[in-house]
Amino acid sequence: MTDLRSILVTGGAGFIGANFVRHVLDHTDASVVVLDKLTYAGDRRTLEGLSPTRCRLVVGDIADATTVDEQVSGCDAVVHFAAESHNDNSLADPSPFVQTNVIGTFQLLEAVRRHGVRFHHVSTDEVYGDLELDDPSRFTESTPYRPSSPYSATKAGSDHLVRAWTRSFGVQATISNCSNNYGPYQHVEKFIPRQITNVIDGVRPRLYGAGANVRDWIHVDDHNAAVLQILTRGRIGQTYLIGADGEKNNREVVEMILDVMGQPRDAYDLVTDRAGHDLRYAIDATTLRTELGWTPRYQDFRAGLAATIDWYRTNEAWWRPQKAATERKYAAAGERPLSGEGAR
Ligand code: NAD
Ligand code: DAU
């Protein structure tokens, strides 16, 4: 296993990055520097309680060359989570997506190239576009890129930059493309936490369109265990798809949330669909499983979901400050009920 003493984690105050920091502190002896701009999606409270001798937060922008050079020069590896991550926001204003996801990744690549630092790029299955609902196939490492939204197009662009810097300049990089994550510390704008916190607030969950779109759910800890294995044992230049065989349509997920929370399973509203809404994502993680021996620990989605619901019930102080502004953003984007009680 590669000996990594100091890891720079970009976006480490966000959902997956912060869970990754905890995973690294729990499973290795490495120390971590988090580089995070603390956008609306980043929260320093998410890192509270972590050892100050092993984890330090630097507030800064990955698109700022000077900041990036300073932080990259002192570390053994960079794990790059920082991004604008929400599809709906990218439809309202794509500009920060291009700036952070493309220019930010470019600045990091230039810095790791200058300093000879190992780089792992965290990306998404959305770069492959979508599959038909009745198509039995799944995404593999050789599926052609076909991104649909401004978000996924900028992530696809960042993946291409990483591959070009690896081939042209010998940067020591790996890439992972993961499916939809759930778990603690996810922003309330995202599907699962939005519906859990709606139910807590006595508001009916909101399904886009007919609720038939399929996502391939994975617990954030399983994603992060895979990222750490790829960082320490992955082949340079290789792309790994990360997924846990967790396909569910959105209606099934909402019904399960309502059921676990003691509500009638049909107590949701159908609302305006997302423009260009990808139909289905599905990951074939054979390379990761066979090459690195990774297997997901969270095989029971209902149990993982119930634990996540408990977390949001117990940690209202963490998400409450974001909730009203998030719902105002959806209302301003024109979201309105098409069926269900809200439409009457
Ligand atoms: P998030 O929105 O919860 O967190 C993103 C973090 O990046 C925040 O802390 C934010 O402050 C920080 N950030 C944003 N712009 C920055 C900038 N210019 N400079 C420095 N920091 C900045 O996102 P997430 O859901 O944790 O996703 C993390 C990464 O994982 C992203 O790259 C995303 O594309 C990828 N990913 C997410 C999922 C998912 O289901 N959420 C699945 C696959 C891949
Ligand atoms: O597949 C990986 C991607 O998963 C990541 O790259 C993204 O960063 C992450 O946000 C996620 O993208 P999605 O667009 O799939 O996630 P989101 O949580 O926004 O929505 C999940 C599904 O639920 C999607 O089909 C849209 C739908 N949805 C979403 C919201 C917020 C609803 O039906 N109602 C909602 O209120």
| pLDDT tens digits along 165-206 | 999 999 999 999 999 999 999 999 999 999 999 999 999 999
Which of 186, 185, 179 has its CA nearest to residue 214? 179
| Closest ligand by atom to 226 CA | 1
Q: Work out the percent of the chain whose per-residue pLDDT is above 70.
A: 99
Which of 251, 120, 235, 277 has its CA nearest to residue 195? 251
What is the DSSP secondary structure assignment for residue 104, as one 8-state letter? I
Q: Which residues lie below 8 Å from residue 167, measured CB to CB, with a gap of 6+?
A: 237
Token pair for 112: 């790791």
Q: What is the mean pLDDT of residues 1-22?
A: 93
State how far the Cα of 69 lies from the Cα of 4, in Å rounded to an integer: 19
Report the run of H or E that residue 200 belongs to, with start and end.
Answer: helix 191-200
> How high is the mean pLDDT of the chain?
97
Contact 268, 208 (CB under 8 A): no
Q: What is the mean pLDDT of residues 123-135?
A: 97
Q: What is the pLDDT of residue 262?
A: 98
Token pair for 291: 């090459």
Q: Which of 151, 182, 185, 312 is catalytic?
A: 151
Q: Work out the percent of the chain whose per-residue pLDDT is above 90.
A: 97
Q: What is the CA(190)–ligand 2 centre distance, in A?
A: 6
Token pair for 315: 């940690």
State how far the Cα of 317 lies from the Cα of 331, in Å rounded to an integer: 23
Contact 85, 151 (CB under 8 A): yes
Q: What is the pLDDT of residue 165?
A: 98
State how far the Cα of 101 lies from the Cα of 119, in Å rounded to an integer: 15
| pLDDT tens digits along 138-174 | 999 999 999 999 999 999 999 999 999 999 999 999 9
| pLDDT tens digits along 240-263 | 999 999 999 999 999 999 999 999
State how far the Cα of 225 lies from the Cα of 222, in Å rounded to an integer: 5
98 CB within 6 A, ligand 1: no
Q: How confident is the model at residue 89 (pLDDT cuts 50, 70, 90)?
A: very high
Q: What is the mean pLDDT of residues 222-251?
A: 98
Q: Is the pLDDT of residue 295 over 70?
A: yes
Q: What is the pLDDT of residue 2?
A: 61
Which of 45, 186, 103, 229 has its CA nearest to residue 34? 45
Our mutation pick for probing the ligand 1 site, out of 8, 10, 15, 61, counting the most ligand atoms within 8 A of Cβ, is 15
Establish whether 240 is a catalytic residue.
Answer: no
State how far the Cα of 36 lies from the Cα of 39, in Å rounded to an integer: 8
Token pair for 63: 């698109």
Q: Which residues lie below 8 Å from residue 152, measured CB to CB, with a gap of 6+?
A: 87, 124, 126, 127, 129, 278
| pLDDT tens digits along 40-68 | 999 999 999 999 999 999 999 999 999 99
Report the run of H or E that residue 338 belongs to, with start and end.
Answer: strand 337-339
| Closest ligand by atom to 21 CA | 1
Which residue in the block uniquely carries the two structure tokens 């300093």? 115
Which residue in the block uniquely carries the two structure tokens 């997920």? 253
Q: Which of 125, 222, 247, 255 is catalytic?
A: 125
204 CB within 6 A, ligand 2: no
Which residue in the block uniquely carries the two structure tokens 């000996």? 3
Helices (H), 83-128: 87-92, 95-97, 105-115
Token pair for 187: 């922003």
Establish whether 128 is a catalytic residue.
Answer: no
Q: Which residues lie below 8 Å from residue 316, measured CB to CB, with a gap of 6+?
A: 200
At residue 100, what are phi and psi to the nearest 5 degrees? -80, -50
Q: Is the pLDDT of residue 1 over 50?
A: no
180 CB within 6 A, ligand 2: yes
65 CB within 6 A, ligand 1: no
Three-state DSSP state, 295: coil
| Closest ligand by atom to 126 CA | 2
Q: What is the CA(199)–ligand 2 centre distance, in A?
A: 18
Q: What is the CA(267)–ligand 1 centre distance, in A?
A: 31
Q: What is the CA(318)–ligand 2 centre distance, in A?
A: 21
Structural domains present in the chain: 6-183+217-242 (3.40.50.720)
In angstroms, the first-to-last Cα distance of the chain is 60
Contact 246, 218 (CB under 8 A): yes
State how far the Cα of 40 lies from the Cα of 35, in Å rounded to an integer: 15
Report the run of H or E that residue 220 belongs to, with start and end.
Answer: helix 220-233
Q: What is the pLDDT of residue 83?
A: 99
Q: What is the pLDDT of residue 3?
A: 79
